[in-house]
Amino acid sequence: GATIGILGGGQLGRMLSVAASRLGLKCAIFEPGANPPAGQVADRVFTAPYEDEAALRAFAEAVDVITYEFENIPTSALDLLESLRPIRPGRKALATSQDRILEKSFLNGIGLTTAPWAEVTDAASLDAAIAMIGTPAILKTTRLGYDGKGQARIMTPADAPAALAAMGGATAVLEGFVDFSAEISVIAARGLDGSISCFDPGENVHKSGILHTTTVPARIPPALRSDAVLVAARILNALDYVGVLGVELFVTPAGLLVNEIAPRVHNSGHWTQAGCTVDQFEQHIRAVAGWPLGDGGRYADVEMLNLIGDDVDRIPELARAKNTQIHLYGKAEAKPGRKMGHVNRIL
Ligand code: ATP
Ligand code: MG
Ligand code: MG
């Protein structure tokens, strides 16, 4: 069987490795940090920084195709890897999702609506952005933000200096605050042959900027459900995408706004492990390995609950709960904000 190379050894890489193993494929992980969660289940682990060309080369030579579980891989590493093996999803998807300004420009360019936004590089451009967009607004670093990190709320123009200072000198984007009725996401897949399969939209609730629960089906009208799937399909085709993509959307009276995209399996798609014949991890492995996409049809209503930090202390209780599937990531220490596991409950 083929060997899949995965950049990043976190829980997503771990669950991708399990899915690959079930399909009789092998996995090699490339991860700079020691003892990565994926290392406990993958066939091989390459532990080296992304600057280590020899290690990158050895990793590429040990695999048939390369995918990734997070999007902030340095460009120099990608250039080297791409010269040796196919990278799926491709570079356009990575570059677009690494940078909020490129991402929003791309989305608007294919006719999709986002929150109003403007690039911010200094105090003057922030003032101009606030004058154009108004308040409340959110200032976000253009790159490297996740779980709500690198963001500052601007409730009134007086908050501008503190928000700018919170960016630490990094380029940022100001977004108008969206008064959404719900947040939903579509986990969508596109195969090597261009075929598309989307999972049912899930409804997301965040706590302190971190995903708390995803519930399917999302409580939205059927028309919005198909809109959401069409949005995802348009993005997949425009990026000539291969693999699973997460699309985060705001539901507003004016329709759907795209918040952001993630070129990988996504936390808000974990419910598919309990709700679908083929879950997002298998679907991603199928796509990058060049298999036909599987049947992503949903056969149950599910609530996914993230276990963040000390939430993992609830495991003894959750282990007794009915209709509950437990996933733990094998992380040694429960730090505040750290994703330790999740549970899928059939509703
Ligand atoms: P992720 O871990 O999903 O990558 P992130 O750090 O990239 O998170 P966002 O998804 O941009 O952050 O924002 C996190 C959450 O903050 C959103 O899911 C939403 O609840 C809220 N949020 C972000 N942008 C806006 C906005 N413009 N208007 C209202 N709420 C917002
Ligand atoms: Mg994000
Ligand atoms: Mg997000």
Q: Which of 251, 259, 261 to mutate to test the pocket of ligand 1 (most atoms within 8 A of CB)?
A: 259
- Dihedral of alpha carbons 173, 177, 183, 188, sign: negative
Ligand 1 pocket, residue 178 CB under 6 Å: yes
- Which among 48, 32, 117, 92 has a CA at the least distance from the CA of 240? 92
209 close to ligand 1 (CB < 6 Angstrom): yes
CATH number at 57 reads 3.40.50.20
The answer to the question of residue 110 being in a domain is no
Residues 333 and 230 in one domain: yes
Q: What is the DSSP letter of 1?
A: -
Do 245 and 324 fall into the same domain? yes
44 shares its domain with 191: no
Tally of domains in the chain: 3
Q: Do 190 and 153 belong together in one domain?
A: no
- Position 57 in a domain: yes
| Same domain (yes/no): 141, 260 | no
Of 190, 208, 206, the closest CA to residue 198 belongs to: 190
Around ion ligand 3, which residues have CB less than 5 A away? 248
CA of 335 to the centre of ligand 1 (A): 22
Q: What is the pLDDT of residue 294?
A: 97
Tell me: do 35 and 132 sit in the same domain.
Answer: no
Annotated binding-site members for ATP: 100, 140, 145-151, 175-178, 183, 206, 259-260
Distance from Cα 346 to the centre of ligand 3, integer Å: 25
Surface-to-core class of residue 14, CB atoms within 10 Å of its CB (0-12 exposed, 13-18 middle, 19+ buried): buried
Q: Whose CA is nearest to atom 26 of ligand 1?
A: 177
Would 207 be classed as within a structural domain?
Answer: yes
Between the CA of 304 and the centroid of ligand 1 the distance, in Å, is 19
Q: Which domain holds residue 164?
A: 116-176
**Ligand 1 atom closest to Cα of residue 179:** 29
Residues 248 and 338 grouped into a single domain: yes
Q: Structure pTM?
A: 0.96
Q: Which residue has the tokens 């108008």?
A: 176
| Long-range CB contact pairs, 318-321, < 8 A, 24+ | 318/343, 321/345
Q: pLDDT 10s digit of each residue in the chain, 347 long?
A: 799 999 999 999 999 999 999 999 999 999 999 999 999 999 999 999 999 999 999 999 999 999 999 988 998 999 999 999 999 999 999 999 999 999 999 999 999 999 999 999 999 999 999 999 999 999 999 998 888 888 999 999 999 999 999 999 899 999 999 999 999 999 999 999 999 999 999 999 999 889 999 999 999 999 999 999 999 999 999 999 999 999 999 999 999 999 999 999 999 999 999 999 999 999 999 999 999 999 999 999 999 999 999 999 999 999 999 999 999 999 999 999 999 999 999 99
What are the angstrom distances between the C-alpha of 228 and each of 112, 116, 188, 216? 11, 19, 10, 14
pLDDT at 40: 95
According to the model, what pLDDT value does residue 148 have? 80
CA 298, CA 280: separation in Å to the nearest integer?
Answer: 12
Task: Identify the burial level of 94 via C-beta atoms within 10 angstroms of its C-beta, where 0-12 means exposed, 13-18 middle and 19 or more buried.
Answer: buried
Residue 105 lies in a domain: no
Distance 268 CA to ligand 3 centre (A): 10
Q: Give the H/E segment covering residue 180.
A: none
DSSP codes joined into one string, 82-129: HTTS-BSS-HHHHHHHH-HHHHHHHHHHTT-----EEEE-SHHHHHHH
CATH number, residue 161? 3.30.1490.20
Q: What is residue 276's predicted lDDT score, i.e. its pLDDT?
A: 98
Looking at residue 263, the DSSP 8-state letter turns out to be S
Are 81 and 153 part of one and the same domain?
Answer: no
